[in-house]
């Protein structure tokens, strides 16, 4: 019985190790399907699908699909689809992308031709934070600035269907 238990625990640990992949240093991946991927260093992704992506460092890329995204560093992406929670600590530039729930700790955010359900701008410092909405972006839920010092620069074709809390809106 003890041997069976030890083998069971060992096999579960081995399965988890295989599921999680860790990349250290500058990394560039193309045409990959990943389970849970952790990146430590500058990361460039193209045509990548994953359950979860965690990046400590700058993230750039296009055609990325994931369920969850956590980034500590600047993000510049095109055609990113995050089906669950996205947390970004740093500036964000996203074009032609989709976010279910977006939390940002940063001063500058640009969303162009992006669909997002909810946006939460977390208090980063005691200064104003700017959210630029361009193109045909649509926010289906709420936009909340925890600091109460938010500025939303809203282009002419932007739709915000929920409430705005803690920010002033500047029509551009």
Indicate whether 172 pLDDT > 90: no
Number of separate domains in the chain: 1
Question: Residue 7: is its pLDDT beyond 60?
Answer: no
Cβ pair 141, 156 in contact under 8 A: no
Q: Determine if residue 105 is left, alpha or beta; phi over 0 gives left, psi from -120 to 50 gives alpha, anything else beta.
A: beta
Question: Residue 73 in contact with residue 55, Cβ under 8 Å?
Answer: yes
Range 73-81 average pLDDT? 98
Instruction: Using alpha carbons, select from 166, 54, 157 the residue that is nearest to residue 114.
Output: 157
Find the mean pLDDT for residues 39-59. Answer: 97
pLDDT in tens, 107-158: 999 999 999 999 999 987 777 899 999 999 999 999 999 999 899 999 999 9
pTM value is 0.86
* Structure token digits, residue 108: 């500058």
Q: How confident is the model at residue 8 (pLDDT cuts 50, 70, 90)?
A: very low
Domain of 78, in residue numbers: 2-171
Q: What is the pLDDT of residues 13-42, one digit of tens each?
A: 443 333 579 999 999 999 999 999 999 999
């Amino acid at each position: 019985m003890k041997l069976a238990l030890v083998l069971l625990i060992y096999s579960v640990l081995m399965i988890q190790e295989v599921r999680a992949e860790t990349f250290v240093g500058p990394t560039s991946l193309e045409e990959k399907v990943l389970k849970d991927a952790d990146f430590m260093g500058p990361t460039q992704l193209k045509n990548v699908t994953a359950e979860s992506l965690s990046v400590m460092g700058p993230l750039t890329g296009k055609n990325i699909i994931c369920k969850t995204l956590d980034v500590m560093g600047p993000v510049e992406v095109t055609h990113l689809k995050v089906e669950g929670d996205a947390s970004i600590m740093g500036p964000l530039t996203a074009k032609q992308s989709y976010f279910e729930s977006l939390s940002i700790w940063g001063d500058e955010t640009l969303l162009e031709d992006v669909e997002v359900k909810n946006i939460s701008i977390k208090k980063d410092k005691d200064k104003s934070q700017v959210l630029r909405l361009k193109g045909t972006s649509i926010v289906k839920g709420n936009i909340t600035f925890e600091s109460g010092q938010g500025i939303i620069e809203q282009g002419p074709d932007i739709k915000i269907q929920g409430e705005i809390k803690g920010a002033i809106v500047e029509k551009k």
